[in-house]
Structure 1
Amino acid sequence: MYAIAFLGNFTILLIVKTVSSPHGPLYYFLFMLAVSDLVVSLTIMPKMLAIYWFSSREINFRACLTQLYCLHCFSVMESGIFVAMAFDCYVAVCHPRHSTILTNSVVAKIGLAMMLRGGMLPLPFPFLIRQWPYCKTNIIPQPYCAHMAVMKLACADTRASSYYGLFVVFCVIGLDVSSISLSYTQILRAIFSLPTTDTRLKTFETSISHLCAILVFYILRLFFSLMYRFAQNMPLHFHVLIANVYLLMPPMLNTIIYG
């Protein structure tokens, strides 16, 4: 899965960069998505492989916080990119003057906004976690440092960190999914108003790959977030399995879907 994600996303970056024809907004957003997928994979996979192949099960606390921040930063960024791609699909289907609305400067501003949001929202996580005392076990039940896993090791009142984590989940999953749903509602209305069945199918095919990638990304994240907070009685091996699939599956499937 790591090999497919790495080679696939690297190939997408290479193709988008080397193709000489004019690039539309979708190609720029796809370039950003491939970069975020690569960074997420490179953040977790080397240590994960070291754990499974060489039984290297320790990680420095600062390295853990760095991994935690990069992981959440680029995951939030990826969610924003999906919103931008949904908006691009909406403009392409519902507005005939697509190129005059999503100009290169507008795309650059959207990309910058997604990067700033991705960098700022998870920024309090390492600072909040660093201030807690740790007097219990220092073992996390997964092969990478996620916010909830590290926070649960603290022997202190961590409600501030937990509440902020829920706020980030609401901002990312709640607001982003609502924006994407609104875009696709307008897209479907436009598709069903087209005169012929062939035209409807052709227009729908331009959006179906993006919709598949969205479903993979958000369903796994929502399930993982709810499982960590409310499914405490699930077997440990199931937690580990979901924690791995949650981050390994989307970068791999995105390359297949978009490729």
Structure 2
Amino acid sequence: MSVPAPQPTARAVITGASSGIGMALARALAARGHSLILVARRGEILAELAAELTTNHGVEAEVRAVDLSDLTAVATLCDELVGREISILCNNAGIATFGPIAELDAAYERAQLRLNANAVQELTLAVLPQMVQRGSGGILMVGSAAGNMAIPNNATYAASKAFVNTFSESLRGELRGAGVHVTLLAPGPVRIQTPAPEDESIVDKMVPDFLWHSSDKVAEMSLDALARNKMRVVPGTLSKAMSVAGGYSPRAIVAPIVGRFYGKMGEPE
């Protein structure tokens, strides 16, 4: 069975919907007729997006301003989702840090792990039983090519995305024949548009323009792959190279090289 067609009572949940891939996924799903539950910390941005999607596509778009690094807030959201008809879950929200972990803010590193890994597991556990019972559903996991390798100066992010990558592919094995699709998106650098020079972040400056991928294109590719129940989507040259390097190259050689690159991203601008 394919991913469920839009239904008036069903909702597609998108975390991290206030920017980037999450916002692009929300627009793409709404264009396909799905009503939504939009999740992110920035409620005012979500409210604007919800109004846009309702006006442009006639779908219902509910807003949940939730900090997914807060375990109590996650539990409250999960309690709600257990009682709702959730057709699609897009586990997209995530953050990253750069630099030696001993020099980074420990509280933020812990919050990063809760957001990138714990929240993904909790939300999946909340909606998966109903999908299995119905024999239909779709879960899009936004992992990362960074989760395929050890990356000094990006330790928490790489480790948290390794969890997402492995969790996603393990889940597929358990759900074979259950009618529930699981697809892992492992993107490299993604952005909506090229920023003006004065607005460039350190990441924009470090990564050449030709290696960036469009958020809108990635969203469409991901939803098409989910509909086909494809195991993994790896858009972009850099993410494909990182996937190959992580899978086939000796870590003792690759990790120091990649670590130096990521270390530069943590240097003050």
TM-score, length basis structure 1: 0.28
* Structure number having the greater helix percentage: 1
Greater RCO (Cα-Cα under 8 Å, separation 6 or more): 1
* Structure number having the greater strand percentage: 2
Task: Please tell me whether Structure 1 or Structure 2 has the larger radius of gyration of its CA atoms.
Answer: 1
